[in-house]
Structure 1
Amino acid sequence: MIKINRTGKPSVLQKKETIWVEKIKNASSADERHKAISKYRHPEIKAFLSEMFNGKCAFCESYIENVDYGDIEHFKPKAKFPYEAVIWENLLLSCKKCNGAGQKGDEWPLESEGGLLINPCEEDPNDFFSFEFDAETLVSIVKPKNKRGETSERIYGLNKQTLIKDRNQKVRIFVFLASYYNIDPRARTFLDEFIETSGEYSAFAKMIKEKYVDNASENNQQR
């Protein structure tokens, strides 16, 4: 999970966001409200989100479009905040596992239930998580730093077993590249590309470089 800078609204929302919100508010039946809420599915909105998140899930950083079309995720659930269903600032891109039942879904915890969830477009996930890799067990873990981090890790499923299994494979590649970072220019190029916001699991790629390249260089200089 990384910080994402939100882009400007797609043109369809620049023109119709206010109109659609009013239609939701003034709907005279459940069917009419449902129809008004569903405007968020406009293909231009999905295209903007896909580009903004580089085709990755806002939560787990897995590439979505290789295996699925992905979901337009409502940070504030549309079931509880229907008026925000078409508000640009409330829309994220998510994989079906992170957005499905048993994970984010319609969850919106109160402060007494662990505090607000972390929105990667508004806050830096590094303030709430550390990204760790155990060289002995070869397991990658998102470790919460505070209560909100704990709540978000649990609800987003950032350490669900299927995700850890896939993420471990990529992180091991990061470790291999880091071991050759100062030796082979190709390894340096590849790892730097993974660290870019467009890279899958880039939070872990950045952590691996800091741990195995940057820190190692500092230790050598101190000797």
Structure 2
Amino acid sequence: MIPLQRVPLSAHAQNLLTQATQRVEDAGATADAAREKWRGAAGTKSHVRKALESMARGAVRCMYCDDSRGTDIDHFEPLDRAPLRAFVWVNHLLACSFCNSNVKHRQYPVSKQGACLLVDPTAEDPAAHLVLLLAAGLYDPLSPKGEETIKVFGLNRPDLVKGRLDAFVRARSNLRDWHGLHQEGDPEAERVAQALLDSPFVDVVHAMTHLKPAAAAVVVGASTVAALGAWRAVHSGPVSPVS
């Protein structure tokens, strides 16, 4: 899971959402009413989907698992809990069908104080709550919120763990290839970089980029350290404390 920047909606799209919310309220503000209005709002949903796809990383990856293509508009806070948030822009995320229907579904754990215990990657940096252990392909919680996020989104299910381990091997090789081309000033370097950023499990690349420099040699191997340093200078912001 990586941080994502939520984009503003057009005034037209926001107006459509506001009108749809009013229709849900007029119909009784129940979960059933919200589902009925949502099912019948193809035009409004197309605006939401387009905006979400512009936010997603890579080839429109799921905002939860970073693997499969994002196909579903997920209501982060489910309609059973919050019918009037059915058409609220900040409650929409893009998910693959498996994460949306088979894993998260209607789960929404909260603390005793009622605070949400799931990380919304468009509202906060997931790194504050969970860390990707690159050598193991596993997410490790840093907080109760991280623990619930890993469990609810199934972030450590076997297929994702294997995918991340494979992606880690490929990413190290791709980084070395990119570095050589970059040093030579070959324009192919940017094509390699974009392919790496568009690949599944971009969370692996993100975690590598944000490794502490002192830990990089141990985690990625001595042969990749120079390439990672060059990549970090070109393709990352401030280094966060990931180990």
User: Which band: TM-score by shorter chain?
Assistant: 0.7 to 0.9
- TM-score (ref. length: structure 2): 0.72
Contact 2:78 2:107 in 1 (8 A): yes
Contact 2:178–2:193, Cα closer than 8 Å, also in 1 = no
Q: Aligned residue for 2:66?
A: 61
Identity of aligned residues (%): 21
Which position in structure 1 is the counterpart of 2:240? none
State the 1:53 CA deviation. Answer: 1.1
Greater Cα offset, 201-210 or 147-156? 201-210
Specify which of 145, 149, 161 is matched with residue 142 of structure 2.
Answer: 145
Deviations 1:97-142 (A, max 9, x none): 11123x21111112149952110110001111212222xxxx4112
Residues 129-159 of structure 1, C-alpha deviations (whole Å, 9 max, x = no match): 212222xxxx411221111101101101111
RMSD: 3.1
Task: Report what 1:36 is aligned to.
Answer: 37
Q: Out of 52, 62, 74, which is 1:49 matched to?
A: 52
Aligned runs of 1:192-211 on 2, under 5 Å? 192-193=193-194, 196=197, 198-209=198-209, 210=211, 211=216
8 Å Cα contact 2:3-2:124 kept in structure 1? yes
| Aligned counterparts of 1:143 and 1:179: Cα–Cα separation in 2 | 27
Q: How far apart, CA to CA, are the structure 2 residues paired with 1:30 and 1:173?
A: 45
Deviations along 1:27-72, one digit per CA (max 9) or x if unpaired, are 159875543233565222212212221411111112406xxxx110
Distance 2:10 2:41 in 1: 11
Moved more, 140-149 or 43-52: 43-52
Q: Scaled by the length of structure 1, what TM-score is found? A: 0.78
Q: Distance in 2 between matches of 1:172 and 1:94?
A: 25
Within-5 A mapping of 1:1-223:
1-10=1-10, 12-27=12-27, 33-38=34-39, 41=42, 42-54=45-57, 55-64=60-69, 70-101=71-102, 103-112=103-112, 116-134=117-135, 139-179=136-176, 182-185=179-182, 189=190, 192-193=193-194, 196=197, 198-209=198-209, 210=211, 211=216, 212=220, 213=225
1:193 Cα offset (Å): 3.3
| Aligned partners of 2:117 and 2:144 also within 8 Å | no
The answer (yes or no) to whether the contact 1:10–1:48 under 8 Å persists in 2 is: no
Post-superposition CA distance 1:64-89 (Å, at most 9, x none): 06xxxx11001111121110001111
User: Which of 52-61 and 36-45 deviates more?
Assistant: 36-45
* Paired residue total: 208
Deviates more, 1:49-58 or 1:184-193: 184-193
> Which blocks of at least 5 consecutive residues in structure 1 are unaligned?
218-223
The answer for unaligned runs of 5 or more in structure 2 is: 230-243
1:188-221 superposed Cα distances (whole Å, 9 cap, x missing partner): 656743664x55322211333442326987xxxx
